[in-house]
Structure 1
Amino acid sequence: MILRELTADDATCVADIEARLFSEDNPWSREVFLTEFAHPHTFYVGAFDDEEIMMGYGGIAMLGPKTDPEFEIHTIGVDTQFQRRGVGRALMDQLTHAADLYDGPMFLEVRTDNDPAIALYESYGFVQLGIRKNYYKPSGKDAYTMKRDSRSERTKQ
């Protein structure tokens, strides 16, 4: 598996995977990904096989000042043919490492019925803070809001 930062050239492929994975929940378009990739406060990473076929992607944003940042996982997805092969974990390793470099807490939303993703996030120390009713549109599915403490907070525990 090859991991690298995503560029504008990857936006079409990411949007195609996103459309397949999140068809009932208003998937992001190529244009949205192009905008996200261009922001100076975001980091998007892709996982590729040896033939440069995209297996999955993930993106995080740094919010607030660099001296006291918070991070939000904007999206993470693994193409169905590559699920259950450690791709999601490899992407999460990259996203959590980025947040740990700045010692910031991380937040995310996840569908309440997405048990595999919830288990993955919990394995990284995320805990549920609450539920956002009808968060995903147009499906109307609920989301858990989850948080992972900063590196320094986790070492105090």
Structure 2
Amino acid sequence: MVSGDVPAVMELERLGHSHPWSEAVFEDCFKANYRCRVLEIEGAIQGYTVVSYLADEAHLMNICVHPGQRGQGVGAFLLNAVVREARREACTQMILEVRASNEAAARLYLRSGFDEIGRRKGYYPGVSGREDALVMALRFT
């Protein structure tokens, strides 16, 4: 991902998330300890990931797939790519949070070897109040 991708990423973010990140948040992710990637299919951005790195840990901050591409393995492809990259960076684990109501994403993470290690109460804004996040981890060692 480069700065010029942000408008297209923002459109995808609005399509994919009930409470999208702002443009400023994406721009703030262009730092040395972040890896921001896009997936283009036929010249259009159809998915992206944002991972932060701290010491020996990778934190999957955001992953999004265009609604028209869901159910076709794009999410698994993106997830596998960031896991491979974190392993190459000598991380010991990858962690993430996922909305408790996002059963499809939680299933993808479990199929990919992640374990649920906790819950953050009221972590996400929701339509009618706050929503819990499941905290998941994939340990590499």
Q: Does the TM-score normalized on the shorter chain lie above 0.5?
A: yes
Q: Which whole-Å CA distance do the structure 1 matches of 2:113 and 2:126 have between them? A: 30
Q: Which whole-Å CA distance do the structure 1 matches of 2:110 and 2:44 have between them? A: 28
Match of 2:13 in 1: 18
Query: Which residue of 2, 8, 12 corresponds with 2:3?
Result: 8
Shift of 1:10: 0.6
Query: What is the TM-score normalised by the length of structure 2?
Result: 0.92
Unaligned residue ranges in structure 1 (runs of 5+): 1-5
Matched, 1:148 2:141: no
Please tell me whether the aligned partners of residues 58 and 91 of structure 2 are also in contact (alpha carbons under 8 angstroms): no
Q: Which whole-Å CA distance do the structure 2 matches of 1:114 and 1:54 have between them? A: 22
Match of 1:63 in 2: 54
Match of 1:46 in 2: 38
Query: Which residue of 110, 120, 124 corresponds with 2:98?
Result: 110
Q: Which whole-Å CA distance do the structure 2 matches of 1:129 and 1:104 have between them? A: 15
Q: Which whole-Å CA distance do the structure 2 matches of 1:104 and 1:95 have between them? A: 13
Please tell me whether the aligned partners of residues 108 and 146 of structure 1 are also in contact (alpha carbons under 8 angstroms): yes
Summarize the alignment of residues 74-113 of structure 1 with structure 2, pairs less than 5 Å apart: 74-101=61-88, 102-113=90-101
Q: CA RMSD in A?
A: 1.2
Q: Which whole-Å CA distance do the structure 1 matches of 2:139 and 2:16 have between them? A: 28
Identity of aligned residues (%): 28
Q: Which whole-Å CA distance do the structure 2 matches of 1:19 and 1:107 have between them? A: 24
Q: Deviations over 1:89-136 (max 9, x none)?
A: 111111101111114201100011111111111122110011111110
Secondary structure at the counterpart of residue 129 of structure 1: strand
Shift of 1:54: 1.0
Match of 2:21 in 1: 28
Partner amino acid for 1:39?
K
Q: Which has the higher strand share?
A: 2
Q: Which whole-Å CA distance do the structure 1 matches of 2:119 and 2:16 have between them? A: 22
Q: Which whole-Å CA distance do the structure 2 matches of 1:126 and 1:113 have between them? A: 17
Query: Which residue of 99, 108, 129 corresponds with 1:120?
Result: 108
Unaligned residue ranges in structure 2 (runs of 5+): none
Please tell me whether the aligned partners of residues 45 and 94 of structure 1 are also in contact (alpha carbons under 8 angstroms): no
Query: What is the TM-score normalised by the length of structure 1?
Result: 0.83
